[in-house]
Structure 1
Amino acid sequence: MTLVSVPSSPNPARRLIRLCALFCLELLLLAAAYQFFVVIECHLTDVNGACRFLRSLVARALVVFAVGGLLLWAMPMLRHAVLRAAGQRAGALWPGVHAVGLVLLVLPLAMAPGGNLGAVFDVAIWFLGAGAILAGVGGVMWVAPAAGWRDIALAGRGIAPGALILAALLPDIADLALPLWNLDGMSAVTFAAVRLFLEMFATDILIDAPARIIGFPAFSVHIAPQCSGVEGVALVTAFTLIYALIFRESLRLSRLFLVVLPAAVLLSLLFNVVRVGTLILIGRYISPDLAVNGFHSYAGWVFFTLLAFGIVWGVQVTPWLHRTNRLGEPDMPLRDDPVAAFVIPFVAFMVASLITHAFFAHPEIGYPLRVVAMAAALWPFRRYYLRLAWRFDPVAWTLGALVGLGWLLFDQGDPEAGMAMAVAIGALPKVYILFWVIVRLIGTVAFVPFVEELFFRGYLLTRFTDRGAAGAWVALALSTLCFAALHGRWISAGVAGLLFALIAWRRGGVTSAIQAHVAANLVVAVWAYAVSDFSKI
């Protein structure tokens, strides 16, 4: 028997990186060409399903690349198998097949009369389909021969093929969330958040709240239910499930789904607000065509990819999400973990706030739900909180009271919003109104200061303390800006957040900041109760 050796690459890692960069560039150029040079409305063709599938290939490729990168990072055996396979050259045939596929993918651009690809799509689809198959197969075999791919599939106990298939199906999973787009409350939340985002950059904002139109006289958009971010929620949930499948033996799955998943959903909704707001700014200051045809189509997938990698990084650097810490020792109980104690109540508070905005006629009607969520999240950590350095701080109480007075003096509240809230609450049964007032006061004075200070000053402010003076200033700016963004009052809330941070630094702990925040909210709550205007709190 004569053995024929397979030519190998002297540097498989460098070769693999070059090929991946080439494929990403090709995807980018094809996406741009079909976005800007031709027009295609899939629902106007006779092959709507096939058309939508072809248009989704770019998004599918992005997600597959993201999950593939995650697998290579997380599974050393798979990474070694890929490098071994990439070191085996598959011959000159496959680059040619890949090139022929690219030519077929480009040909329909020249076939479209006046750029209207829909007019000839029944013919163009054959070129696009064949081109996608040839370019895909040629690219895969260009990376490694068939034997190499077999070894890759077997590496890591066969997890990689299933994870990549799920990644390729994520756009279809997102389509399953289409019925949820009819939740009108979600688009209302997005509309209000986009308004706050735009107010950071301009004042001449065009707002039509009943029609949900927002933007500027030269460029505006309609915040439809499809813009609510539910698609992103579906994608993030599916990605988290894939991640849990890959790391199911090392992760504490209950913590992953109870803590990481809600936080990822909130970030997904935040990214959606940034995406819509940035689209409007691009449409006004740069190009409406770029905003609609370019950024609008692919920014969501780019943000999703960034969030996916952020989820992975966050989980990997958080010991209490793993069965053992980095030293191989048993992980501490969740109830004793300081990161969990500082972060989980805030996540619960934000999730409950989102629910009240989406499912109640007026979000403040559901305020008791937020209090219940905070109480439930705080209770498991009660012994940890009791071990904090609690002592009365008269300076903190004094400064906190001054913050409360300043909040009232420089009130920037919307009178119409306050009136809408009063009307909504006034329409409720009298018994519920009394219950609501009591819970509102308790939540404002006790729960909200505790939960917010644990997160903003207990977690964010100390996140970079081990990185010297520069890290401390970054932490101060980050905690202050995030606190101001949450409250939508950049000056008043920014000053308050800065003072609370300085108070926390003064005593070297979060308890003094909690006392100052309680004092501030107590002043505002007493005033709100005296004048029967609970929109102040």
Structure 2
Amino acid sequence: MSAPPLPLAPPGGAPSASGATADRSGALRWGLPAALLAAEYLALSILVDLPLDGPYMPVVRTLRLAVPVALGAAVGGVLLARGSRSAEPGPAAPLPAWRPGPALAVQVAAFAAAAALTRRILAEGAPPLTGGALAAWLAILVAVVLLAVRTAAPLAWVARRVVTRWRTPLLALAAGLLAWRGALEAERLWGVLSEGTLRGAAALLRLGAAPVTVELEERLIGVGGFDVEISEVCSGVDGLGLVLVFQAVWIATSRDRVRLPRALVLLPLGAAAALAANVLRIAALVLLGASGREALALGGFHSRAGWVLFTAVALGSVALAERAAWLRRAPAPRPDATAAAASVAAPGVPAAAAAYVAPLLGAIATALVTGAWSEGALDRAYGARILVAGIALLLVRRSLSPPVLSWSWPPVLLAGAVAVPWIAFGAGDGAGLADAVARLGPAERAAWIATRVAGSCLVVPLAEELAFRGFLLPWLVSPDFERVPPRAWTWTAVALSSLGFGLLHGGWILGTAAGVAFAIARLVRGRLGDAVLAHALCNAAIAAAVMLSGRWGLWS
């Protein structure tokens, strides 16, 4: 005998006496698959770690990127949903009654099969990984994810929802990609934060009377002969970037319900919570290893658990902030039912935003894939990201207010103000890229350089300016961003949009300063085309420095 279905109000339906019960049931309905997948992800991470070498490393690198981005997109979707009353126009399809039992049983069985196969092909001492085994493993993992989703709603309903309301998933994916970039940039802070973090972890371990050794220069910490080196990649400092990005997303989408600038206090508090969580994570890692569980400590725990932990910190800080009276803005009075209905229908993130971010999102997603399949510093398929961004621009052009380019001195001067310090201080280690380019054949080398110059000077400025100065800057001024006066701005709008731009680029400090300069270029005459022009001229100057002086690090 099956249990009766749980009653749920359809999304966007009118409030009723059972609204609170429906909200709780809805949270359980969608929270169950999320919690299930998070637990299973941690279990697989503890069971084995992905290989670090072998013929199938491109697939492994793709997975290493896909999982954090998917986690970030899921959290971004939750924050967008919490901060926005509706991100899509029009009524939603009715949500079927919830019967999780059968799908849940099948999903758990599928995960057990996935865990057994994972242990068989990836555990220490397993035979070399084959293409067939890898394909079977990926297929069963996809099945596990789909079955988890099925515990919440029929897959056909979910597919229709994604297809008809594609803008919200796209914006959530954009948040996930930005969080991933923020995490990468935060890793650069490990050199600055390592001493304090390791000292904090050592002090915590000493509370248990453990004999702790710390070598700050080598970034080593250990207990009872078990010593680990905490490198940038597995330092956990990337959680700092995750928390800051997610909190910024929530503040931006909820600014009609929170007090600004008071809500900005979440950023330093969230950063402090992320650093404290990192101290706890390192202490737990050392204790696990010292207790004889070295494989667990050095396997999935040190990295995968960190992503889940810091995602929990981000969501937890937001949940606490939503309950803080000091941060909440008093609700506006609703004189009649018509005004209330209009308020419910008003989108926090307008559907038109998807058209502005689609070209940049396509370029970033393509770069993730092609970068994972590239060897060394050179992405030989760089042209693919430019092609995808160009196709996206063509597809969404009718939904955009196209920027008008016209000559004026402010964009030129601002381009120089960005290019000079970028060329002087922004170069990374370009030796690997220079060697890789030199090894290309003459025709391929010329084609790659031409594509890189054209992409960075033409397509990239247009895609990035549409996203950051075309959408994000005016949207942070007012949710109805397409009706914002072209020269309207606020300090918060310029700061957050520029910080987002900075996180997208190597060296977030210079990137954020560039974002401020391009915002000024737009605001001087109220023309998005001026920001595009300043950006294009800046990138052209950087390309010239690469070509004339061999500063390949400017492109690394």
2:274 aligned with 1:262: no
Letter in 2 for 1:292: I
Shift of 1:396: 1.6
Conserved? CA contact 2:359–2:392, under 8 Å:
yes
Deviation at residue 475 of structure 1 after TM alignment: 1.3
**Shift of residue 360, structure 1, vs aligned partner:** 0.5
- With a CA cutoff of 8 Å and minimum separation of 6, indicate the structure with the bigger relative contact order: 2
Counterpart amino acid of residue 41 in structure 2? A
Between Structure 1 and Structure 2, the one with more helix by share is 1
CA contact (8 A) 1:170 1:238 kept: no
Aligned equivalents of 1:500 and 1:427: distance in 2? 36
Change (3 A) 1:280 1:184: farther
Aligned to 2:411: 396
Within the alignment, does 1:521 sit opposite 2:539 as a pair? yes
Identity %: 24
**In the alignment, which residue of structure 1 is the partner of 2:363?**
349
Q: Distance in 2 between matches of 1:450 and 1:438?
A: 18
Q: CA deviation at 1:341?
A: 2.8
How far, CA to CA, are the matches of 2:459 and 2:401 in structure 1? 15
1:513: Cα distance to partner? 0.7
Is the CA contact 1:400–1:520 (under 8 Å) kept in the aligned structure 2? Answer: yes
**SS of the counterpart of 1:340?**
helix
Using the size of structure 2 for normalisation, the TM-score is 0.49
Q: Deviations over 1:217-251 (max 9, x none)?
A: xxxxxxx9899565544556778774994985766
The answer to whether the 8 Å contact 1:426/1:433 transfers is: yes
Q: Secondary structure of the equivalent of 1:292?
A: helix
Q: 1:536 is matched with which residue?
A: 554
Amino acid at match of 1:262: L
Question: Is 1:170–2:51 an aligned residue pair?
Answer: no
**Structure 1 unpaired stretches of 5+:** 1-67, 84-151, 190-223, 313-325
**1:434 positional shift:** 1.4
Q: Aligned AA for 1:342? A: Y
Q: 1: CA distance between counterparts of 2:198 and 2:431?
A: 33
How does 1:86-165 map onto structure 2 within 5 Å? 163=30, 165=32
Offset at residue 375 of structure 1 (A): 1.2
Given the superposition, is the C-alpha separation of residues 161 and 259 from structure 1 closer, same or farther in structure 2, using an over 3 Å criterion? closer
Q: Which residue number corresponds to residue 282 of structure 2?
A: 292
How far apart, CA to CA, are the structure 2 residues paired with 1:518 and 1:328? 40
In structure 1, distance between residues paired with 2:63 and 2:284: 16
Residues 371-382 of structure 1: pairs in structure 2 closer than 5 A: 371-382=386-397
SS in 2 for 1:502: helix
Structure 1 counterpart SS, 2:378: helix
**1:477/1:348 CA distance change after superposition, 3 Å:** same
1:436 corresponds to which residue? Answer: 448
Q: Which amino acid aligns with 1:391?
A: S
Contact 2:383 2:451 in 1 (8 A): yes
Distance 2:170 2:314 in 1: 15
Q: Which residue of 2 aligns with 1:136?
A: none
1:362 is the counterpart of 2:376: yes
Most deviating of 440-449 and 257-266: 257-266
Aligned to 1:506: 524
Give the drift of 1:478.
1.7
The residue type equivalent to 1:353 in the other structure is A
CA distance, structure 2, for counterparts of residue 440 and residue 478 of structure 1: 28
2:477 to 461, 465, 469: 465
1:376/1:184 Cα in 2 relative to 1: closer, same or farther (>3 Å)? Answer: farther
Task: Please report how far the alpha carbon of residue 349 of structure 1 lies from its aligned counterpart in structure 2 after TM superposition.
Answer: 2.1
Say if 2:38 and 2:308, in contact at 8 Å, map to a contact too. no
Listed as ranges, the matches of 1:473-512 within 5 Å are 473-490=491-508, 492-512=510-530
Contact 2:73 2:177 survives alignment (8 Å): no
Distance 1:285 1:379, change over 3 A: farther
| CA displacement at 1:282 relative to structure 2 | 5.9
Q: How many residues align?
A: 345
Distance 1:392 1:75, change over 3 A: closer
| CA radius of gyration, larger in | 1
Residues 406, 266 of structure 1: CA spacing in aligned structure 2 closer, same or farther, 3 A cutoff? closer
**Could you tell me how far 1:356 is from its partner in structure 2?**
3.3
The separation in 2 between residues aligned to 1:310 and 1:378, in whole angstroms, is: 37
Shift of 1:511: 1.0
Distance 1:528 1:328, change over 3 A: same
SS of equivalent residue, structure 2 residue 406: coil
When residues 165 and 520 of structure 1 are mapped into structure 2, their CA distance, relative to the original with a 3 A threshold, is: closer
**Offset, 1:506:** 0.9
Distance 1:347 1:491 in 2: 22
Does the C-alpha gap of structure 1 residues 237 and 470 become closer, same or farther in structure 2, counting only changes over 3 Å? Answer: closer
Contact kept, 8 Å, 1:484 with 1:493, in 2: the verdict is: yes
TM superposition shift of 1:405:
3.8
Q: Distance in 1 between matches of 2:169 and 2:32?
A: 26
For residue 165 of structure 1, report the CA deviation from its aligned partner.
Answer: 4.4
Q: Could you tell me how far apart the structure 1 residues matched to 2:400 and 2:409 are?
A: 21
Contiguous gaps of at least 5 residues in structure 2: 1-5, 78-145, 206-279, 286-301, 320-340
Alpha carbons 1:461, 1:479 under 8 Å: kept: yes
Specify the code of the residue in structure 2 equivalent to 1:521: N
Q: Report matched runs for 1:52-67 at 5 Å.
A: none
Distance 1:257 1:338 in 2: 10
